[in-house]
């Protein structure tokens, strides 16, 4: 019996991943860029138990069946293939962010699972290999392996589609918890529907590839205003794209939109603040760390807020060998 525990944090994309080029390998249509948070970690323990007949997933103390368990099993199959083991495992995971509410629990979840499973099955993987592995669990998880700011290269194949660190100015993210409930359409389903039905999808791909280049240049130059502007535009383009599906999907709620408006008003007062949102109603405001309290005060009548600085990459906390 071998056991390993790993921890990873969610990340929020400044330039979003939305759409797959290859669903089997989980290769994205475009590259993306993110900041890993220092709040809401996921901690996962993988115990390899040779006598067991199927993998078990325990999430927050509750045994999971159906799709979540099967997704973990398929992921562990990748690790088993790479390590030459056929042993099944028990996976125990604790999230500190509400699951499936558009706050990237699958990113921290599969990054922590990749680290814990690789260590428990005895794979010695470098950061790039861990990022590629995490990507196959959930695309955005490739970026939660990395500390601080990361670019996930779209790549041409499995080997070239991984995340790595990029230079960026010191930023804070003020997370506005608009709604903690599970979203009604998963991002995986919504992405598929976008690719299949949105007439705007080709334009999204070309504009996002350009936005990524611009964002990386702005980040390297330490240009917060430019980077923030690209972030907000890219987020609103993604939500417009998602709304253009058939049948349509809308993740932003009236409160989300009001927060976007407040952020525009903050900018008019001279505060460099920019809003983004993933596949859910929660809004994240990007600003300089010195402005985070001002930003939080401007929106805290609308939603609870949590402020984050750039956080650590995936860490293996413990490994107990046989
Ligand atoms: C809106 O990484 O959850 O958060 O690869 O299908 O698991 P799968 O999708 P996932 O999608 C994240 C979408 C997003 C944007 C982003 O994080 O870049």
pLDDT tens for the chain, 322 residues long, are 799 999 999 999 999 999 999 999 999 999 999 999 999 999 999 999 999 999 999 999 999 999 999 999 999 999 999 999 999 999 999 988 755 445 657 999 999 999 999 999 999 999 999 999 999 999 999 999 999 999 999 999 999 999 999 999 999 999 999 987 777 898 999 999 999 999 999 999 999 999 999 999 999 999 999 999 999 999 999 999 999 999 999 999 999 999 999 999 999 999 999 999 999 999 999 999 999 999 999 999 999 999 999 999 999 999 998 5
CATH of domain 172-308: 3.30.70.890
Query: What CA–CA distance (Å, rounded) separates 59 from 242?
Result: 29
CATH of domain 2-168: 3.30.230.10
**Best mutation site among 17, 34, 74 for ligand 1 pocket (most ligand atoms within 8 Å of CB):** 17
Interatomic CA distance for residues 57 and 69, integer angstroms: 6
pTM above 0.85, yes or no: yes
Do the Cβ atoms of 212 and 33 come closer than 8 Å?
Answer: yes
16 within ligand 1 shell (Cβ under 6 A): yes
- The answer to whether the CB of 79 falls within 8 A of the CB of 160 is no
Atom of ligand 1 nearest to the CA of 152: 18
Burial of 16 (0-12, 13-18, 19+ CB in 10 A): buried
Task: Report yes or no: 29 and 20 within 8 Å, Cβ to Cβ.
Answer: yes
Ligand 1 touching residue 278 (CB < 6 A): yes
In the prediction, which pLDDT does 100 show? 47
Q: What is the pLDDT of residue 179?
A: 85
pLDDT for 288: 98
pLDDT reported for residue 247: 97
Domain ranges of the chain: 2-168, 172-308
Phi-psi region of 317 (alpha: psi -120 to 50; beta: other; left: phi over 0): alpha
Burial class (CB in 10 A: 0-12, 13-18, 19+), 121: buried
**CB-ligand 1 contact for 105 (6 Å cutoff):** no
To test ligand 1's pocket by mutation, which of 139, 183, 188 has the most ligand atoms within 8 angstroms of CB? 139
The answer for residues whose C-beta is within 8 angstroms of residue 65's C-beta and 6 or more apart is none
Contact 183, 102 (CB under 8 A): yes
Question: Atom 4, ligand 1: which residue's CA is nearest?
Answer: 278
Residue 103 pLDDT: 61
62 contact partners, CB below 8 Å, separation of at least 6: none
Give the ligand 1 atom nearest the CA of 11.
17
Retrieve residue 321's tokens: 């060998």
Ligand 1 atom with the smallest distance to the CA of 110 is 7
Q: Which residue has the tokens 């390899």?
A: 48
């Amino acid at each position: 019996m071998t056991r390993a525990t790993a921890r990873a944090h969610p990340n929020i994309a400044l330039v979003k991943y939305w759409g797959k080029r290859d669903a089997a390998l989980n290769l994205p249509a475009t590259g993306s860029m993110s900041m890993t948070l220092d709040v809401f970690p996921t901690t996962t323990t993988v115990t390899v138990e040779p006598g067991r007949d199927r993998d078990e997933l325990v999430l927050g103390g509750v045994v999971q069946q159906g799709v979540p368990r099967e997704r973990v099993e398929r992921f562990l199959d990748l690790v088993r293939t790479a390590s030459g083991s056929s042993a099944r495992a028990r996976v125990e995971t604790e999230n500190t962010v509400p699951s499936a509410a558009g706050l990237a629990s699958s990113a921290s979840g599969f990054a922590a699972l990749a680290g814990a499973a690789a260590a428990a099955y005895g794979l010695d993987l470098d950061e790039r290999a861990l990022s590629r592995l995490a990507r196959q669990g959930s695309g955005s998880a490739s970026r939660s392996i990395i500390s601080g700011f990361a670019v996930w290269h779209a790549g041409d194949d499995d080997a070239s589609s991984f995340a790595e660190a990029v230079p960026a100015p010191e930023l804070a993210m003020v997370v506005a918890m608009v709604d903690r409930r599970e979203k009604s359409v998963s991002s995986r389903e919504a992405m598929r529907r976008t690719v299949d039905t949105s007439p705007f999808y080709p334009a999204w791909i070309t504009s996002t590839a350009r936005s990524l280049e611009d964002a990386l240049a702005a980040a390297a130059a330490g240009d917060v205003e430019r980077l923030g502007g690209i972030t907000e535009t890219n987020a609103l383009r993604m939500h417009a794209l998602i709304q253009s599906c058939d049948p349509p999907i809308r993740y932003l709620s009236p409160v989300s939109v009001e927060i976007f408006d407040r952020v525009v008003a903050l900018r008019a007062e001279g505060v460099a603040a920019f809003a983004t949102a993933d596949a859910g109603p929660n809004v994240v405001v990007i600003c300089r760390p010195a402005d985070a309290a001002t930003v939080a005060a401007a929106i805290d009548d609308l939603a609870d807020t949590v402020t984050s600085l750039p956080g650590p990459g995936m860490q293996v906390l413990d490994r107990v060998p046989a």
